Structure formats: structure tokens, C-alpha cells
Amino acid sequence: MKKTKVGIINVTGYAGVELARLLSRHPSVQLTSVTGRSAAGQKLNQFFPHLTDLDLTIEAKLGAAELVFSAMPHKDSAQEIVPLIGAGIKVVDIGADFRLRDPAEYQKWYGVVHPAPQLLKKAVYGLTELYREKIASAQLVANPGCYPTGAILALAPAVKAGLIKPDIVFDSKSGVSGAGRSLSLTTHFSEVNEDVSAYALEGHRHLPEITQELRLLGAKELAVTFVPHLIPMTRGILTTAYAPLLPSKLAKGEKGEAELKTIYLDFYQGEPFVRVLSTPPHTKYTWGNNFCFIYPTVDHRAGRLIVISAIDNLVKGAAGQAIQNMNLMLGLPETAGLEAPAIYP
């Protein structure tokens, strides 16, 4: 069987190298071209020795490929993607350039004029559990951000069922790899180790993405507070979502908790990478795999819904989700190349 040729723009970042790792064992595609400005001319399996079987040269410019992953920062990603779309190549953008549907909202949060607003209507938001059919026929897919993936999946069933008031709080805690490979004082070992800190309280760039998608699910008048935290681990995001329950939507006590779990189980029935648990998940459950684990419950004293979600920010929050989308775009089994369980402990 002929394998589809795929390429990665910017393989030297954490998302790019995680893509290379997962694609190296994919049964139906072949990684044929990778780029990385800072490492151009070097062998991929020498620059990243753990990728021992990938005997590719890191190039300055992308070679021939039928589907391309762009792991570039915002603005730069769109500039790389425009000619690919013009050439009829399928693209999964792991960056932020095509997640927001409103170019004015993009400019507000990212501080630059959108480089390719003409492609915004063409792009499909790549949260597979919500947009599976559109992704399958898309040429350009905007891979979700890591925080929005955990947050949206946590509350999508409750919003769709009309269970909650539109006053939502997300408290998210992320490992340091979410900040990328570039050196900075805030992610220096001595600064992060034995420390937990909140950041972006004035508004994180992932906030409008979360709000946009929850509104599309039915929460029109929406007030979202999103507070991310940096914690001293490499991978993982644990999100706790809080929202007041609407009166009489759920029964009291254990019966209401059972009703809530049924709503979540029904919403995610048949989803290969979402699991609704009976106990709160740990980030370690997801380490290295493409799962999102979710635990919904009710604080009866406060009349509040509480939902915990856990993902690996580099897999379901980036590279794994991108491959899940690629599989759909190429007509492959959605789980291809993503079946491995988590590494534990």
C-alpha cells in the first residue's frame, strides 16, 4: 500500500518533534520532509537522537509532501501556509493563525493584522470530537490550542444540554513544555522547580478560542474566567471547570450525579480518545497518549457543576490531535498511529 507523503514545518519545536515521533510509527503515512531554520543541514536523528529511525535531513525549505503540518508561531505559520493552500496541499496548522474566526479578534489578542484573512472561512477548527465531518473534507484545519482542548471538552456536554448558567471559570495547570523550547527565565529549572504560579490574569490568548467554541455550542451570553498556572512537570494539563447549575436541570443528590454522568457518557459515546471516568483523572494517565480523561460532578451545597479534564499538552493538546485530524483528512482510521497507551508511572 502506497503511503501518503507528509512534511513538518519547524520540526525543532516541542510540537514538531512530537509529531515526528508519532508519525515515525504511523502505518499509512511517510514523513518525507522536515524543516527547522536553526538546524538546517543536520540529520534529524542526530539533532534528536531518540528519533533513531528517521534518517532525514532537516531542510531550510519544505520538500514535496501531500499533507503538511505547520508548527510555526503565529503570523509566521499563516505566511508558510498560503502558498501550500494555493498549490492544493492539505494542511494542519498547529499554530494559532486560523483558530479564531474573526480577524479583528485575532488582531486584538495576537497584536498583529491577520496575514491571510481570506483563508479564515476555509479553515475548520480541529477539535475532532465537535467537527469530525467538516475536518474530513477540509483542506486547512486549525489545530486547537492545548488549554482550549481540555477546557472545551470538559464543558461541551453541559453547554449543549443547557445545564449551566453562562458564568464559567476554568482553572488550568500546565507542564513547562507548553511554553515551548525557546529559552526564557520564567521556564528556567531554578525558577520553575518547587514552585506553582498563575499567569496571564489579564487575559490569555487561548481565552477567546474557548469562548468562541462554547458560544457555538449554545452558550450565547457567556462570561468566561480563565486562569492558567505553571507547575513543575514536563507534560500535562489538568483543567478544573466551574459553572453554576440552572435550577431543576438535574435531580438532587446521587440521582442528579447519575444523570450528569449519563449526559457526558452519551455525548462522548463512541469517541475513541475521550473517557468519562468515575474518579478524578491525573495528568499521568495521559502521559504520551492522545486521550482526554473527564470527570463531571456536582457541588450540591453551592449548586455548581465541577468538571475535571486531563490531557497531555503535546499529544491531545498538539501533535496527537493534529494526527487525529490528518487521519480524517486522508480517509484513514481515526486512531491510526495513536493507539499507544500512556507511559506509567
What distance in Å separates the CA atoms of residue 208 and residue 99, rounded to the nearest whole number? 10
| 286 and 253 together in one domain | yes
* DSSP state letters, 16-31: HHHHHHHHTT-SSEEE
In a domain, 64, yes or no: yes
146 is an active site residue: yes
Q: Residue 264 belongs to a domain with what CATH number? A: 3.30.360.10
What distance in Å separates the CA atoms of residue 97 and residue 338, rounded to the nearest whole number? 25
Q: What is the pLDDT along the chain (345 residues), one digit of tens a residue?
A: 799 999 999 999 999 999 999 999 999 999 999 999 889 999 999 999 999 999 999 999 999 999 999 999 999 999 999 999 999 999 999 999 999 999 999 999 999 999 999 999 999 999 999 999 999 999 999 999 999 999 999 999 999 999 999 999 999 999 999 988 888 888 999 999 999 999 999 999 999 999 999 999 987 789 999 999 999 999 999 999 999 999 999 999 999 999 999 999 999 999 999 999 999 999 999 999 999 999 999 999 999 999 999 999 999 999 999 999 999 999 999 999 999 999 988
In a domain, 335, yes or no: no
| 162 and 308 together in one domain | yes
pLDDT of 51 = 96
Which candidate in 9, 17, 140, 146 is catalytic? 146
Residue 95 DSSP code: S
What distance in Å separates the CA atoms of residue 22 and residue 324, rounded to the nearest whole number? 11
| 111 and 159 together in one domain | no
In a domain, 345, yes or no: no
Contact 47, 107 (CB under 8 A): no
Q: Which is nearest to 198 in space by CA: 234, 240, 239, 228?
A: 228
What distance in Å separates the CA atoms of residue 292 and residue 336, rounded to the nearest whole number? 17
| 129 and 159 together in one domain | no
In a domain, 200, yes or no: yes
| 21 and 153 together in one domain | no
Using CA atoms, how far residue 248 sits from 15, 161, 163, 245, 252, in Å, is: 44, 13, 9, 9, 9
Residue 4 C-alpha cell reads as 501518503
Contact 300, 189 (CB under 8 A): no
In a domain, 46, yes or no: yes
| 131 and 189 together in one domain | no
Query: Element (H or E) spanning 103, and its range?
Result: helix 103-110
pLDDT of 221 = 85
In a domain, 304, yes or no: yes
In a domain, 343, yes or no: no
| 180 and 263 together in one domain | yes
| 136 and 20 together in one domain | yes
Q: Is the pTM of this model over 0.95?
A: yes
| Number of structural domains found in the chain | 2
Question: What is the domain extent for residue 212?
Answer: 147-313
| 111 and 216 together in one domain | no
Q: Residue 59 belongs to a domain with what CATH number? A: 3.40.50.720
| 152 and 276 together in one domain | yes
pLDDT of 345 = 86
The C-alpha angle 27, 29, 35, rounded to 5 degrees, equals 135
Tell me the three state secondary structure of residue 274. strand
In a domain, 107, yes or no: yes
| 124 and 170 together in one domain | no
In three state form, how does the secondary structure of 113-141 look?
CCCCHHHCCCCEECCHHHHHHHHHCCCEE
| 233 and 187 together in one domain | yes
What distance in Å separates the CA atoms of residue 70 and residue 143, rounded to the nearest whole number? 10
List % helix, strand, coil for the chain (3-state, nearest 5). 35, 20, 45
Strands (E), the chain: 4-9, 29-35, 58-59, 67-70, 90-93, 124-125, 140-142, 167-174, 197-198, 223-230, 237-244, 274-276, 292-299, 304-311
